Homo-oligomer: A and B are copies of this chain.
Amino acid sequence: MKELDIGKVARWSGLPASTLRYYEEKGLIHSIGRNGLKRVFAESVLQRLSLIALGRTAGFSLDAIAEMLAAEGGPAIDREQLERKAEQLDHTIRRLSAIRDGLRHAALCPADNHLSCPTFQRLMSMASKQMGRKRSAAPERA
């Protein structure tokens, strides 16, 4: 099993060492031991970091990601929760798609005020569909 010091992990993951320490402190990753003072990581930490980066991209908080990663190894994954998150993501994707189309349209449409362009408006209203954002979606700190 290949062992990496923090510098290698940093270089390969693209994350600064400080972030790796921070993630370890938060329990998102674990070092497999020490060599003197120095942390030693298993190669597999890179995959875990990928998953974390992915989760961040998807908009999850570090805490939410920690939960999911914990569930992942654990005795029972909450399949229902995963499906809920998948569905949430699905909504997000649809909204982002509408926004993307909106931007693209804005880049082409000659109307000088997009707010009054019907195509733009249609896309935006498609994207909106509920705009009071209170904590309700991603983490469900349960």
What is the count of identical protomers in the complex? 2
A106 within 8 A of B: yes
Those of A1-31 within 8 Å (CB) of chain B: 13-15, 19
Q: Which residue of A15, A47, A54 has the most chain B CB atoms within 10 A of its CB atom?
A: A54
Q: Roughly how many angstroms separate A108 CA and B83 CA in the complex, as a whole number?
A: 9
Which label, helix, strand, loop or mixed, suits the secondary structure of the A interface? helix
The answer to whether the Cβ of A141 comes within 8 Å of any Cβ in the partner chain is: yes
B-chain residues with CB within 8 Å of residue A108 when the two chains form the complex: 79
A121 to chain B minimum Cβ distance, whole angstroms, is: 9
CB of A82 within 8 A of CB of B106, answer: yes
**Pick from B56, B89, B92: contact of A103, CB under 8 Å:** B89
